[in-house]
Chains A and B, each alone.
Chain A
Amino acid sequence: DTAVSQTPKYLVTQMGNDKSIKCEQNLGHDTMYWYKQDSKKFLKIMFSYNNKELIINETVPNRFSPKSPDKAHLNLHINSLELGDSAVYFCASSLRSGVEQFFGPGTRLTVL
């Protein structure tokens, strides 16, 4: 299946831990994104990568670090997790910036 996939789907962890979320797309897209969706459903863009190069870095704590080993992958590493990091994180991709984005199924992160 052609799609955007994310692992894990659920992540429950303690405050202060470090965790990673992986994202892969097999759509041949050049641009990938990370979004955070809070409990009110608001979608906030965190990062955008184009051809492995960071092009958008919104006001996000530097505890969040994206890594793009190649065009098809964009992983999100989070250090020193805080309660406020609890949310659903979506990876997305698009052929290029500013056109239709395809979203992954989301990773629900719960910080205890």
Chain B
Amino acid sequence: QQQVKQSPQSLIVQKGGIPIINCAYENTAFDYFPWYQQFPGKGPALLIAIRPDVSEKKEGRFTISFNKSAKQFSLHIMDSQPGDSATYFCAASIAGNQFYFGTGTSLTVIP
């Protein structure tokens, strides 16, 4: 059973657009929600993370929106650039326990 459901599977946007990737979870015990970015031929790397006590977190052009009641969180990339083209994974975990990754979203930003 997929603990974290991610959509869409792939996304193509024009440069300057705002791609949005969505994730949903069921386990209300999750208390850490990171996003990972993976470039071809590389391992995933932490991009930004949020804990459920806040509804939004921004780091540069990347923003996580978190809706605790809906059990959903999403990644927004402002002013997207071709260099943002990568696969993005959401994840959820309980401190001291296992990470659960989403199925990944392949983002292509067209110049």
Contacts and interface: CB of A to CB of B under 8 A. Distances in A.
Interface of A: 4, 40-43, 45, 48, 56, 90, 92, 96-106
A98 B93 contact: yes
Interface residues of B, number: 23
Interface in B70-111: 87, 89, 93-99, 101, 103-104, 106
Contacts of A98: 32, 93-99
Nearest to A91: B43
B61 interface: no
A98 B32 CA distance: 8
B77 to A, nearest CB: 18
Given A43-B89, A43-B101, A103 B96 contact: no
A102 B46 CA distance: 8
Contacts of A100: 34, 46, 49
